């Protein structure tokens, strides 16, 4: 049944952001189009690097590349199967295509094409996708809540969930240097800048401890690392020490670093991810810990197993428990 017309509350309601809106909070430091600029830089020193898109250049920051290096850019039309099949063909001819679209279209519409033409054939294609997890208020058509689960289940593909502009800039040359297919989630537009403050550098396959704490360990990826860091700062006021282990490479998992951090006695392990709780980082970490006989108290913060609502992102992040405030509230409940 469709919902009734909402009653007036007298308060202004937040509105759904346009697709081009930034996920950065008010006053947050940002950097524009880190992926587009990093790819241009990379392409200047590597002739093999190409950019391809399926009618989403402007919405994946690939337009920066297309403007700077038009001869290296391929517009494949709104045709994701063609995009990834053709990317496979270009890779087979020795090129390193970066193919962009939205995460929903790569993971759901073109899955078999990526599975067969890129992963199974082991082609050196870098799949870079905007609107990962819950970063669009347009409803399930644009919300890729399950992209990590789908790509984790695909053999032979490396899966990356970067946190911010600093990490995206470093990940672009790193995934190009890696021989083989890669799926990377993308943040576009004015992208938050966070990890530079932590002296962080991206290394493919490595998880890194960004801060330490005695009561709680967040194991997180993507924008939930940003949220975990914000929550950890706020939780200091409640005398809850929270460590943050950032795990940008979802596959292959940095088992040693995760097992090591989760083995420290007395800490509540909370996996936080911008993804459904099914099949993402949470279940990956849980499975790893079970196999390694490491049994800390364990909680998951992630999106529920349901079709998510349309609306303003702050509203939705609050509702589904992945805003900083919602995370703090749950941690206090669990630790208190």
Catalytic annotation, residues: 80
Shortest Å distance, C-beta 88 to other proteins: 5
Which listed residue (25, 68, 74, 138) binds other proteins by CB under 8 A?
74
Which listed residue (35, 113, 183, 320) binds other proteins by CB under 8 A?
113
Which listed residue (93, 197, 236, 305) binds other proteins by CB under 8 A?
93
* Residues numbered 133-152 forming contacts with other proteins, rule: CB under 8 A: none
Encoded one letter per residue, x for contact with other proteins by CB under 8 A and - for no contact, window 306-325 reads: --------------------
Which listed residue (89, 180, 296, 321) binds other proteins by CB under 8 A?
89
Nearer to other proteins, 95 or 183 (CB): 95
Instruction: Please tell me whether residue 85 binds other proteins under the rule CB under 8 A.
Output: yes
Which listed residue (7, 94, 266, 336) binds other proteins by CB under 8 A?
94
Shortest Å distance, C-beta 84 to other proteins: 7
Which listed residue (77, 139, 252, 304) binds other proteins by CB under 8 A?
77
Shortest Å distance, C-beta 118 to other proteins: 10
Shortest Å distance, C-beta 105 to other proteins: 13
Instruction: Please tell me whether residue 96 binds other proteins under the rule CB under 8 A.
Output: no
Stretch that binds other proteins, among 26-34, 75-83, 139-147, 165-173 (CB under 8 A): 75-83
Which listed residue (19, 49, 87, 270) binds other proteins by CB under 8 A?
87
Distance, CA of 272 to CA of 142 (rounded, Å) = 21
Parallel, antiparallel or unpaired: strands 242-246 and 298-303: unpaired
Shortest Å distance, C-beta 52 to other proteins: 9
Total Cβ atoms within 10 A of residue 257: 18
Stretch that binds other proteins, among 22-30, 118-126, 213-221, 251-259 (CB under 8 A): 118-126
Shortest Å distance, C-beta 153 to other proteins: 16
Nearer to other proteins, 55 or 212 (CB): 55
Distance, CA of 213 to CA of 209 (rounded, Å) = 10
3-state secondary structure the chain: CCCCCCCCCCCCCCCCCCCCCCCCCCCCCEEECHHHHHHHHHHHHCCCEEEEECCCCCCCCHHHHHHHCHHHEEECCCCHHHHHHHHHHHHHCCCEEEEEEEHHHHHHHCHHHHHHHHHHCCCCCEEEEECECCCCCCCCCCCECCHHHHHHCCCCCEEECCCCHHHHHHHHHHHHHCCCCEEEEECCCEEECCHHHHCCCCCCCCCEEEECCCCEEEEECCHHHHHHHHHHHHHHCCCCCEEEEECCEEECCCHHHHHHHHCCCCCEEEEEEEEECCCCHHHHHHHHHHHCCCCCCEEEEEECCCCCCCCCHHHHHHHCCCCHHHHHHHHHHHHC
Binding residues vs other proteins (CB under 8 A): 74, 76-77, 79, 81-82, 84-95, 97, 112-113, 115-117, 120-122
């Amino acid at each position: 049944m469709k919902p009734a017309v909402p009653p007036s509350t007298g308060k202004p309601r937040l509105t759904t952001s346009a697709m081009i809106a930034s996920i950065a909070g008010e006053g947050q430091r940002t950097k524009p189009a880190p992926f587009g600029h990093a790819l241009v830089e990379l392409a200047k020193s590597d002739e093999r690097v190409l950019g391809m898109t399926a009618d989403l250049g402007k919405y994946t920051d690939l337009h920066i590349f297309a403007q700077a290096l038009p001869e290296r850019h391929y517009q494949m039309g709104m045709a994701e199967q063609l995009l990834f099949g053709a990317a496979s063909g270009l890779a087979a001819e020795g090129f390193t295509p970066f193919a962009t679209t939205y995460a929903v279209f790569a993971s759901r519409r073109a899955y078999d094409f990526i599975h067969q033409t890129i992963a199974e054939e082991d082609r050196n294609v870098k799949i870079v996708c905007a609107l990962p997890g819950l970063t669009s208020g347009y409803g399930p058509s644009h919300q890729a809540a399950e992209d990590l689960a789908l790509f984790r289940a695909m053999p032979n593909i490396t899966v990356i969930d970067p946190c911010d502009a600093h990490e995206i800039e470093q990940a672009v040359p790193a995934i190009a240097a890696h021989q083989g297919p890669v799926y990377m989630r993308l943040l576009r537009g004015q992208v938050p800048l966070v990890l530079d403050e932590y002296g962080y550098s991206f290394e493919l396959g490595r998880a890194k401890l960004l801060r330490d704490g005695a009561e709680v360990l967040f194991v997180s990826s993507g924008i939930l690392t940003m949220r975990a860091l914000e929550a950890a700062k706020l939780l200091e006021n409640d005398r809850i020490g929270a460590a943050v282990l950032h795990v940008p490479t979802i596959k292959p998992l940095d088992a040693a670093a995760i097992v090591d951090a989760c083995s420290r006695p007395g800490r509540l392990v909370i996996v936080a991810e911008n993804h459904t709780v099914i099949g993402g980082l949470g279940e990956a970490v849980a499975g790893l810990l079970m196999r390694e006989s490491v049994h800390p108290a364990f909680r998951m913060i992630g999106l529920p197993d349901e079709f998510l609502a349309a609306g303003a992102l702050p509203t939705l992040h609050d509702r589904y428990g992945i805003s900083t405030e919602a995370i703090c509230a749950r941690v206090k409940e669990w630790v208190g």
